[in-house]
Amino acid sequence: MPKAESSSDASDQEDITHMLEMGGEMDIDYFLISSPSLTSFYLEVGGKICAGFDIGWVSAVRIRLYHRTILVGEVTSPETALIPDSNNYVKTEWDDIRKLLVPIKNMVAFRNFFAEIMPRASANDEPNVKKQPTAALEVSPNGHRLTMSIDLANMPRMSTKVNSLEISHDKININMTITNPSPLSLWFEVNCNFVLKKGQDIIGELMAPFDIKPGEEVCVFVGTIRPRTSGMVTIKGEKYEDVDYSWQQYIMKLFEVEINLDEFIVKTNGNDK
């Protein structure tokens, strides 16, 4: 890493540590992003401010997003009031006229963020490390600006569970529950394309509606498969129709789930196997 970049990363980490020592913290339970272009995204954040910290009468909000020590992007919204409710909950919501557009400063860190939360082959066997996304809070000395610093590396990975699987001739239907323990929401809003792979060979094609939502979501994949396929196969994201031509096209390629066909009772040529 170049010396200047390393120095900048260290400074960013010191900023977060300083804010936690001198400011407050917010537990994030709402994190919505959308993709208007290849180099930016819209953002909304919400959560409960931890007891003992008062944000006061702020008139501007700055949000800084990191992946570990690397700054992914930042944005400031001037002339913005952020008033906690009776439960000390705040949420940055924007209308169609005024949206919080975050320029992506480091695409490598942004990609690594998604690579660490999307389902990945064999990832369900990894140790279950509890992660909790939070925002470090600090109010400027004059009381006008609230700064939120968020480490995206604290978003936990999505997991999957195959509920049922049926094969008839060359047709396949997979019913899968996708669990997202993080507050991240990212909408695709159209059917997405996937491929079935056995080793390096593509042995099937699938389609399914897919969105990233907090909690559990049932996803049904339908498509074709090479007849009499058995053993381990992998569902991999392929593409979706991205009308905005944005970075969201890349997200589908990170989806990866392994399935052992031998663990399911499937139908081949209309007969149980």
State CA 171 to chain mean position distance. Answer: 31
> At residue 20, does pLDDT exceed 50?
no
State yes or no: pLDDT of 270 exceeds 70.
no
Contact call for residues 61 and 55 (beta carbons, < 8 A): no
Average pLDDT, the chain: 87
Tell me what the mean pLDDT of segment 32-49 comes to: 94
Instruction: Summarize pLDDT for 59-89 with one digit per residue, the tens.
Output: 999 999 999 999 999 999 998 999 999 999 9
CA 3 to the chain's CA centroid: 31
| Residue-range domain boundaries for the chain | 3-154, 159-267
Q: Would you mind telling me the total number of residues written for the chain in this entry?
A: 273
Whole-angstrom distance, CA of residue 65 vs CA of residue 50: 19
Strands 215-225 vs 232-240: parallel, antiparallel or unpaired: unpaired
Is the pLDDT at 272 greater than 60, yes or no?
no
Report which of 265, 243, 244, 240 is spatially closest to residue 253, judged by C-alpha positions: 240
Q: pTM score, two decimals?
A: 0.85
Class of domain 159-267: mainly beta
pLDDT in tens, 99-150: 789 999 999 999 999 999 999 886 655 545 578 899 999 999 999 999 999 9
| Structural tokens at position 24 | 């407050």
Q: How far apart are CA 227 and CA 152, in angstroms?
A: 42
